[in-house]
Structure 1
Amino acid sequence: MLVAAGREASESAKQWVYRVLRRNIMTGQFEPGEPVTINGLADALGVSAMPVREALHRLVADGALELLDNRRVRVPDLDPQRFEEVLEARIALETRAAERAMPFIDEIRLARLKAFDQQADQALAVGNFKRLVEANFDFHRCLYEARPGTIMLPLIESLWLRLAPFMRRAGETLSQTYQVDRHAEALAAIVRRDGEALKAAIAADIRDGTGHLGRGHFERIKALGNPG
């Protein structure tokens, strides 16, 4: 089910539709392999087909969606090799982004980071997986954008778009995945101004979260004897 944020006064219909769909993909509202249709999205968002069509074209260019031979559009599914490549790219970019952002984190931003961490903990406690994914991305974005004029965040978000659907694979393994609060480790490192510890916490957070869920998904497919 789409989560539609309010449209800002300065936004055109196509800008708003793109922002809404991008956010929904990034926060795991779509399953890997799930088809999306222009008419279905237009009805769900209460807009005409044109802004949806343009938004889908942009999301295909972003790598968030893929265009099939029959001109249908779906959320891409990753094979194990591609998954590992994107995961390692995320670790490389995000650890560096965190290190570069740390000197710019003041008490106000630190408080925001703690609030997002608390939201993630609360979502985990009640099994609200969608809210957990949102709070997790909000935490990471709040950290990286602390550095003024950063150009790394759009690159990082392009990777989130590719990996986020795997967060829908959480299910029964979610409690096993988040046995250690890596966000708490990251916050402690920021307070100490320890760049190496911050990088280690971010890398571990990505591996324990998205990495664990994605690999578990591929292991289940292998166990079932399904090559796809």
Structure 2
Amino acid sequence: MKAAPAPTQQDSTYLRLRQWVTVGRFLPGERLKIHAIALQLGAGVMPVRAALQRLAAEGALVNVPHSGMLVPRLSAAEFHDVLSVRLLLEGEAAERGAHRIDSAGVAELDALAQRMGEALAAGDADAYLDANEAFHLRLYQAAASPTLMALIETVWLKVGPLSNRLFEAQGASAVLNDAHGDMVQALQRKDSAGVRRAVEKDLFVAAQFLRPFCTG
């Protein structure tokens, strides 16, 4: 069997920047500076430029003449549309994943939920968002549906930059991790419908804190 080709620097740069957009490392309205990003990544300017152009083609960034690449802002209507799609896609992935995940996977999710709680207590937004992404990826990937996962990751690009605003919302840190604990408990009971409800609760609660940061 022929081995898969090793990823190029352009590929790895794109994947890293895509992940940064997903977890909110860039804020809505932020202008991305190619040389600064290249320095952060330890990558060349050309791979960074190509990765940003690829992300713009996916709708994750906007190429504005004479301004460069900007992180788009979501209107309230766009945010509502994205939330509706997320509830459908992520609810389905969570319920399917609950049927297939093993005890080791549930233990991994439990550990990630604890890590999120520690990050919230420490006020570490980046650690929380990284652990949150890992938690949802682990559960949804257990569904074993590459098509469903690809759709979810595409939608995440739309809302990722807004997610960092969670930590500006009063009272958010006190409740953001509640639904993850509910998910773990439902998984331990083998209650797939309960897992779906907990994911929907997680998305809905976060949305209440994020909606005021939308435009319009």
* TM-score (norm: length of structure 1): 0.85
Give yes or no for contact 2:172–2:209 (8 Å, CA) kept in 1: no
Alignment-derived partner of residue 50 in structure 2: 54
Q: 2 CA distance for matches of 1:196 and 1:189?
A: 8
The one-letter code sitting in structure 2 at the alignment partner of 1:135 is A
1:190 to 162, 187, 190: 187
Alignment-derived partner of residue 32 in structure 1: 28
Deviations 1:80-113 (A, max 9, x none): 0001101111111000011111111111101111
The one-letter code sitting in structure 1 at the alignment partner of 2:186 is A
Alignment-derived partner of residue 6 in structure 1: none
Deviations 1:145-183 (A, max 9, x none): 012343211111111111111122123426435426101
Q: How far has the Cα of 1:217 moved from its partner?
A: 1.9
Q: 2 CA distance for matches of 1:197 and 1:149?
A: 20
Alignment-derived partner of residue 213 in structure 1: 209
Alignment-derived partner of residue 64 in structure 1: 60
Q: 2 CA distance for matches of 1:194 and 1:75?
A: 39
Q: How far has the Cα of 1:62 moved from its partner?
A: 2.1
Alignment-derived partner of residue 11 in structure 1: 7
Alignment-derived partner of residue 139 in structure 2: 143
* TM-score (norm: length of structure 2): 0.90
Runs in 1 of length 4+ with deviation above 6 angstroms?
Answer: none
Give yes or no for contact 2:166–2:172 (8 Å, CA) kept in 1: no
Alignment-derived partner of residue 93 in structure 1: 89
Give yes or no for contact 2:86–2:152 (8 Å, CA) kept in 1: yes
Q: How far has the Cα of 1:26 moved from its partner?
A: 1.1
Alignment-derived partner of residue 80 in structure 2: 84
Judged with a 3 Å threshold, the aligned counterparts in structure 2 of structure 1 residues 186 and 52 are, in CA distance, closer, same or farther, namely same
Give yes or no for contact 1:101–1:147 (8 Å, CA) kept in 2: yes
Unaligned segments of structure 2, at least 5 residues: none
Judged with a 3 Å threshold, the aligned counterparts in structure 2 of structure 1 residues 75 and 192 are, in CA distance, closer, same or farther, namely same
Q: How far has the Cα of 1:24 moved from its partner?
A: 1.2
SS of alignment partner, residue 67 of structure 1? strand
Q: 2 CA distance for matches of 1:205 and 1:80?
A: 19
The one-letter code sitting in structure 1 at the alignment partner of 2:108 is R
Q: 2 CA distance for matches of 1:208 and 1:177?
A: 11
Q: How far has the Cα of 1:10 moved from its partner?
A: 2.8
Q: CA RMSD in A?
A: 1.9
SS of alignment partner, residue 85 of structure 1? helix
Q: 2 CA distance for matches of 1:47 and 1:173?
A: 34
Give yes or no for contact 1:27–1:164 (8 Å, CA) kept in 2: yes
Q: How far has the Cα of 1:54 moved from its partner?
A: 1.3
Identical residues among aligned pairs (%): 33
Unaligned segments of structure 1, at least 5 residues: 1-8, 222-226
